[in-house]
Structure 1
Amino acid sequence: MEQTFDLTLIWAGIIGFGIMMYVLMDGFDLGQGILYPFAPDEQARDKMMNSVAPVWDGNETWLVLGGAGLLAAFPLVYSIFLPALYIGVFLLLAGLIFRGVAFEFRFKAKTSKYLWSWSFSVGSFVASFAQGAVVGAYIQGFETEGFAYSGGPLDWLTPFTVLTGFGLVIGYALLGSTWLIMKTDGAVQQWAYKITPKLLFGLMAVFAAVSIYTPFVDSSVMSRWFDGISLIWALPALALFCAYIVLRAVKKQQDGMPFVATMGIFLFSYLGLLASKWPYIVPPKFTIYDAASAYNSQLFLLLGFLFVIPIVLAYTSWTYWVFRGKVGDAGYH
């Protein structure tokens, strides 16, 4: 078959879009669990839970969509990533399962409500940390022989991946606090205003540490960023500008802008990561073209995804439209 389109590049764009949508949309409800133990009181925790109850499970659609697309379009990624990250992926899924179960049982429980609250919090923290550690492992790269992983089961766990793990925990907590600013009022909103600058400074500190550490983990990143004048520097500059917008919006007690600007921090940081590693999907050896499935397979699956993605976007948009506005003690107004 004549290859009219670069389907590998199209699929890389689809997978990248799916991962970014998951990070942004599931990040703020994972952030609720991370912030849970620090909430002012049980009433505040109920309001935090109610703010994400209608949307949290739909947010995880993007994780399924991205994972399925990755397996179909880039099977080599799975054959290397899973052996390298079995423990990290297990922790990620276990955390999501604990959080999901806690969501359902906490609403019904009476005497055991505190146990489900802790399950919700611990599950959210573990899932967030595991995601950040997986990102750090991707930046580090993987030992391979031929097309197989040749390292150990704990090679992914290093000081660098611990740093990226805690960095994503703080980042999701920031998404969670700015979500509360947008969706709540009264004491909960004022508490969110108070903690947001602290979380932002913590995230910026990790952001700086990772930026300094990364070139020593992967020398190719250093050459890409420092060899000549590069437009890539616009991405961290835009991320820092978004951080400034968050601070200014919190100071002015604005509702929606802190959350929008926080999403900007994540978006530009994500694009910076992709720009640092492109076109390697399994660093340091394999590009998106090395890992891609057959052209006919990509074309067949693309037709299905082009049908599914608009539906997911449509029902996601509709859900957020229906549950717009502020959440009260008994749910959305």
Structure 2
Amino acid sequence: MSMIDLLAASMGLNVDDPTFWMPLAFMGIFFALVVAGTLLDGIDLGVGMLLVAAPGDLRSRMMVMLSPWRDANEFWLLLGAGLCAAAFPFAWGVIAGELVLPLALLALGAMLRSVSFEFRTRANAAMRPRWVAGFWLGSVITAFSHGLLLGRVATGYQHSVAHAWFDVFVGLCTVAAYLVLGGSWLIMRVDGPLRQMAVKGARHAIRWTAAGMVAVSVALGLANSGIFYKWGNVSDLTVAVPMWSVMLFCFVLMEVLLGRLARPDQVAWTALPFVLCLILFALMLCGLAYSLFPYLILDNLTLWDGAADVSSLRLVLAATVVAVPVMLVFSLLGYRTLFGQEKAPTGVVLPGGKSQLPGVVAAEGEQRTAG
């Protein structure tokens, strides 16, 4: 029998019973939203944090590159949180209470990023660098909050000083991980000085990313004997060993590729670091889900214990069936420019010989017209 069949039998249910499969389906949808939000919004965060290292004349170009699909990233977070609260109300209150600080920082960072991004295009030349700095700060806060949240979950919501320092360490490593993700995306999309800046940022962050993933994996095993048994049991090594081997291979290959791409004349394999980074993030999230399943709160509350009643789940499922396809269509329209080489904009020459990106000039023109 499979693990799903055993779970259903242990609860005296049939796999076809809505009381069993509906919470499982919602957890699958929630996991898919978490993966999509982490990867797609992670690119946004990584590029935003690299702004501080970019030359001043290239920062506007980096911001413009995010414009077609940055707003779509905000919806993943809102839909994921709403789905979790509606489908698992008995667990949501407990989880939210344990994650007050990470969630507060997440909301602050998301708000600061959105406000800074929109106001930058409407600000005058003197104020624009301040809004760019605000977008950078919001990206750092959001990435760090993701790490705090991950650290709290990995340690089973422990409150000791040692666990708090571990959460901070994971937060810093998560900042590094998003730097690698955003940097590898820029390496694939651009060339010239901007690519070299992205390569340099990713090379500095790749080892911190590896350290964070190892730390989370070790903490999960040490915090809970059940998780340790899942990964250490001889019969389950057929899952663990290939996953660890693939992750190690990806880290080593990325280190080698980034070293080669540091040479300005190297133009081959520029998309491979981004693909490897996506694989690493996906494997880490799958490993986390495998470790925690079937619990929402380790050894305390399963996803069936935390789920709403079947009638409420049917209503939530009906809303999800409508909302998710609409979101996917909207997102695909925005993400159609996610891949492929981007051509540098020619800009517009201003009096005095200075150049400016077309999008910025258009925004300033709108301001003058409004004035």
Instruction: Provide the residue aligned with 2:198 in structure 1.
Output: 192
* Structure 2 counterparts to residues 193-212 of structure 1, below 5 A: 193-212=199-218
Q: One-letter code of the match for 1:203? A: T
- Name the CA shift for 1:291/1:155 in 2 (closer, same or farther; >3 Å): farther
Structure 1 unaligned spans of 5+? 144-151
Q: Offset at 1:199? A: 1.9
| 2:248 paired residue number | 240
Q: The residue matched to 2:296 in structure 1 has which SS?
A: strand
How many angstroms apart in 2 are the aligned matches of 1:302 and 1:249? 44
Partner of 1:147: none
Letter in 2 for 1:179: W
CA distance 1:323–1:288, shift in 2 (3 Å): closer
- Which range is displaced more, 278-287 or 321-330? 321-330
Q: Which residue of 1 aligns with 2:226?
A: 220
Letter in 1 for 2:208: G
**Superposition deviation, residue 139 in structure 1:** 1.7
Which one-letter code corresponds to 1:306 in the other structure? V
Shift of 1:75: 0.8
- Residue type matched to 1:328 in 2? A
2:143 matched to which residue of 1? 128
- For residues 105-150 of structure 1, what are the alpha-carbon distances to aligned partners after superposition, in whole Å with 9 as ceiling and x for unaligned? 122322122221221111111111111111111122247xxxxxxx
Structure 2: unaligned runs, 5 residues or longer? 1-15, 261-265, 346-356, 360-371
C-alpha distance in structure 2 between counterparts of 1:331 and 1:247, whole Å = 36
Does residue 19 (structure 1) correspond to residue 34 (structure 2)? The answer is: yes
TM-score by length of 1: 0.88
How far did residue 184 of structure 1 move? 1.6
User: Counterparts of 1:30-45 in structure 2 under 5 Å?
Assistant: 30-39=45-54, 41-45=55-59
Change (3 A) 1:171 1:133: same
Higher mean alpha-carbon deviation, 223-232 vs 162-171, is at 223-232
Normalised by the length of structure 2, the TM-score is: 0.80
In 2, are the aligned partners of 1:8 and 1:289 still within 8 Å (CA)?
A: yes
Q: Which residue of 1 aligns with 2:303?
A: 288
> Pick from 68, 71, 74: which aligns with 2:88?
74
Residue 271 of structure 1 corresponds to which residue in structure 2?
286
Query: Matched residues in 2 for 1:167 and 1:286: separation?
Result: 29
Name the CA shift for 1:3/1:206 in 2 (closer, same or farther; >3 Å).
closer
Report the identity percentage.
28
Q: What's the counterpart of residue 49 of structure 1?
A: 63
Moved more, 239-248 or 130-139: 239-248
Aligned with 2:172: secondary structure?
helix
- Give the SS at the match of 1:229: helix
- Structure 1 SS opposite 2:311: helix
CA shift, 1:284, in A, is: 3.3
Deviations 1:4-49 (A, max 9, x none): 571011001000000110000100111122222122x112211211
SS at match of 2:99: helix
Q: Residues 216 and 322 (structure 1 numbering): CA distance in 2 closer, same or farther, change over 3 Å?
A: closer
> Comparing 283-292 with 247-256, which one deviates more in the overlay?
247-256
Match of 1:326 in 2: 342
Provide the rounded CA distance (Å) in 2 between the counterparts of 1:60 and 1:331. 25
Distance in 1, matches of 2:312 and 2:189, equals: 43
CA distance in 1, matches of 2:138, 2:36: 21
1:146 paired residue number: none
Q: 2:79 is matched with which residue: 65, 73, 78? A: 65
Q: Judging changes above 3 Å, is the alpha-carbon distance between structure 1 residues 322 and 120 closer, same or farther for their aligned structure 2 residues?
A: closer
Asked if structure 2 preserves the Cα contact closer than 8 Å seen for 1:141 and 1:284, the reply is no
Return closer, same or farther for 1:161/1:21 CA change in 2, 3 Å cut-off: same
Report deviation, 1:183.
Answer: 1.9
The 1:15/1:155 distance shift into structure 2, 3 A limit, reads farther
1:156 CA drift (Å): 11
How far is the alpha carbon of 1:63 from its aligned partner? 0.8
Q: Which amino acid aligns with 1:91?
A: L
Give the secondary-structure state (helix, strand or coil) at the position aligned to 1:6.
helix
Q: Report the CA distance shift for 1:142/1:206 in structure 2 as closer, same or farther (over 3 A).
A: closer
* 1:76-117 Cα deviation digits (max 9, x unpaired): 222102222222211110011111111111223221222212
Q: In 1, are the aligned partners of 2:44 and 2:70 still within 8 Å (CA)? A: yes
Partner Cα separation in structure 2 for residue 3 and residue 276 of structure 1? 25
Over the residues paired in the alignment, what is the CA RMSD in angstroms? 2.4
Residues 155 and 219 in structure 2, CA contact (< 8 A), matched pair in contact too? no
Contact 1:160 1:213 in 2 (8 A): no
**Alpha-carbon distance in structure 2 between the residues aligned to 1:19 and 1:236:** 22
